[in-house]
């Protein structure tokens, strides 16, 4: 239980500006502007619904549980343990999250707290589980941006052009400041995907990359987030 080191604080200040946006020199191609997705419109593969975009499909959220978290009730009715990753659809938790990044986006929006408007910055990652069985949206608060920034720097150092070339692993680290204890994501590189797996993930990016542009996704994320 320790505060962020001076080195971590420096890295965060260099990588993230006051709005929570990753600065250009620390960015990578994990999110293309709207309209430039590999496959702009992929229909739902259900007869009679082919004209609907696949990005309309509802996806579950995963969030890092904090001591102050709400809406993190497990199937047995108990509160989820802080420091674990909570799946909103199954109401289950894991201590290690293995996944593939398809698209990541930093968003800043206004949130009403105690009758006053405050700005909230978070990272949304459209992700696929490492076993390729589950697509979800990972929500991380600004306190976890340092770890994400280090991952970006590592990817750039290795010359990685697509986020889905490697799987990543997320655990959590306990921190403490004047407001109390909290957990931040600890994200590390995992295995390299095969060429066939990378092609499959590129297709998934084309299908579902537009999900993060939906207005209702932002509203749903606000309902899931503990701010």
Residue 224: is its pLDDT beyond 70?
A: no
Task: Tell how far CA 147 is from the center of its chain.
Answer: 12
What is the pLDDT, as a whole number, of residue 61? Answer: 93
pLDDT one-digit tens code per residue, 173-214: 999 888 889 999 999 999 999 999 999 999 999 888 888 887
Asked which of 9-18, 115-124, 154-163 is least confident by mean pLDDT, the reply is 9-18
- Write 91-96 long-range contacts (CB < 8 A, 24+): 93/65, 95/171, 95/172, 96/169, 96/170, 96/171
Contact 31, 124 (CB under 8 A): no
Q: Which residues share a beta bridge with 73?
A: 79
> What average pLDDT does this structure show over 108-114?
72
pLDDT in tens, 26-71: 443 344 444 444 444 566 667 776 666 666 678 899 999 999 888 8
Distance CA 35, CA 18 (A): 28
Query: Model-level pTM?
Result: 0.75
74 by Cβ neighbours in 10 Å (0-12 / 13-18 / 19+) ranks as middle
| Confidence class for position 74, pLDDT limits 50, 70, 90 | very high
User: What is the model's pLDDT at position 217?
Assistant: 63
Q: At 164, is the pLDDT very low, low, confident or very high (cuts 50, 70, 90)?
A: very high
Is the pLDDT at 98 greater than 80? The verdict is: yes
Please state the domain extents for the chain: 6-224
Looking at residue 43, what is its pLDDT? 63
Instruction: Render the chain in DSSP notation, one character per residue.
Output: -BPPPHHHHHHHHHHB-TTSPBPGGG--SS-PPTT--SSS--B-SSTT-TTSBGGGS---EEEE--TT--S-B-TTSPBPPTTSEEETTTTEEESSEEEEEEEEEEEEEEEEETTEEEEEEEEEEEEEETTS--EEEEEEEGGGHHHHHHHHHHHHHTT--SGGGEEEEEEEEEEEETTEEEEEEEEEEEEEPPHHHHHHHHHHHHHHGGGGG-HHHHHHHHHH---
């Amino acid at each position: 239980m320790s505060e962020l080191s001076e080195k971590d604080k420096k890295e965060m200040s260099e990588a993230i500006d006051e709005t929570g946006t990753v600065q250009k020199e620390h960015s990578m191609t994990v999110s293309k502007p709207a309209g430039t997705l590999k496959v702009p419109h992929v229909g739902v593969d259900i007869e009679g619904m082919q004209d609907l975009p696949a990005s309309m499909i509802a996806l579950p959220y995963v969030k890092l549980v904090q001591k102050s978290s709400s809406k993190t009730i497990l199937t047995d009715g108990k509160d989820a343990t802080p420091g674990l990753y909570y799946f909103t659809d199954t109401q289950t938790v894991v201590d290690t999250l293995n996944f593939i990044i398809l698209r990541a986006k930093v968003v800043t929006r206004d949130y009403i707290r105690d009758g006053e408007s405050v700005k909230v910055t978070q990272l949304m990652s459209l992700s696929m589980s490492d076993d390729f069985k589950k697509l979800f949206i990972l929500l991380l608060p600004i306190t976890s941006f340092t770890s994400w920034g280090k991952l970006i720097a590592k990817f750039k150092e290795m010359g990685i052009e697509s986020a889905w070339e490697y799987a990543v692993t997320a655990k959590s680290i306990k921190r403490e400041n004047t407001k109390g204890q909290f957990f931040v994501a600890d994200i590390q590189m995992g295995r390299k995907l095969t060429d066939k797996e990378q092609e499959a993930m590129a297709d998934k990016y084309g299908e579902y990359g537009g999900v993060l542009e939906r207005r209702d996704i932002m509203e749903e994320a606000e309902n899931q987030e503990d701010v």
